[in-house]
Amino acid sequence: MFRLYGPTAEAAAAIQGRKAQTALIFGTGTDIIEVHRVEEKLSRTGGLKAKVFTSREIEYCESKHRPALHFAARFAAKEAFLKAMGTGWSGGLAFTEIEIVNNDLGKPELFVSGKVREFCEAHRIAGMEVSLTHIKDLAQAVVVLERRPDAGPAAGNRE
């Protein structure tokens, strides 16, 4: 179990404009993917883009010089999120229920809906962090899900 506390937590909270608090890690996930695989799949499979990405994600990625890099990074984030949940892609979850949108500073943020949101509420997920990176041929994402410290052990948690 990891707890964030002390000056580092206070500094991070001040930068983010919120009160420092202890967070308990519910799960972490990471995924890496070859950009050309995503690019080929999206170009070959009609309608796949709309099954995997939200309209905001599609608009953002297609506005970039190399859209495939950005689609691949977001796909990796969705996979990493499912790994952090500990469930994988099961139970009728849809990729579009996990959305990655950059804030005004360019930081990617996670938004959930549908069954993914229900899962997060049932497991008392209070924080979601995502980091994306990509280079010419690869895209990678890391997701950390945080549970409220007052939540007690959640179903499926490995404490």
Residue 90 lies inside a defined structural domain of this protein: yes
Instruction: Give the C-alpha separation, 79 to 53, whole Å.
Output: 12
Is residue 52 domain-resident?
Answer: yes
Q: Which of 49, 70, 123, 134 is catalytic?
A: 134
Q: Is residue 15 part of a domain?
A: no
pLDDT band at 155 (very low <50, low <70, confident <90, very high): very low
pLDDT tens sequence across 101-149 = 999 999 999 999 999 999 999 999 999 999 999 999 999 999 999 998 7
The residue count for the chain: 159
| Structural domain count of the chain | 1
Angle at 76 between CA 73 and CA 43, to 5 degrees: 70
Predicted TM-score (pTM) of this structure: 0.80
Q: Kindly state whether residue 94 falls inside one of the protein's structural domains.
A: yes
* Range list of β-strands (E), the chain: 24-34, 98-102, 108-112, 125-134, 138-147
Phi first, then psi, for residue 143 (nearest 5°) are -125, 135
Within a domain: residue 123? Answer: yes
Token digits of residue 153: 């052990």
pLDDT band at 154 (very low <50, low <70, confident <90, very high): very low
Q: Which position among 83, 115, 123, 136 bears the catalytic label?
A: 83
Assess contact for 126 and 10: CB atoms under 8 A: no
Query: What pLDDT band is residue 10 in, cutting at 50, 70 and 90?
Result: low
Q: Let me know if residue 102 belongs to a domain.
A: yes
pLDDT, tens digit, for every residue of 53-82?
999 999 999 999 999 999 999 999 999 999
14 falls within a domain: no
Find the domain containing 111 and state its range.
Answer: 25-149
Position 53 in a domain: yes
Whether the CB-CB separation of 37 and 31 falls below 8 Å is answered with no
In this predicted structure, the answer to whether residue 17 has a pLDDT above a threshold of 90 is: no
- CATH code of the domain in which 99 resides: 3.90.470.20
78 is catalytic: no
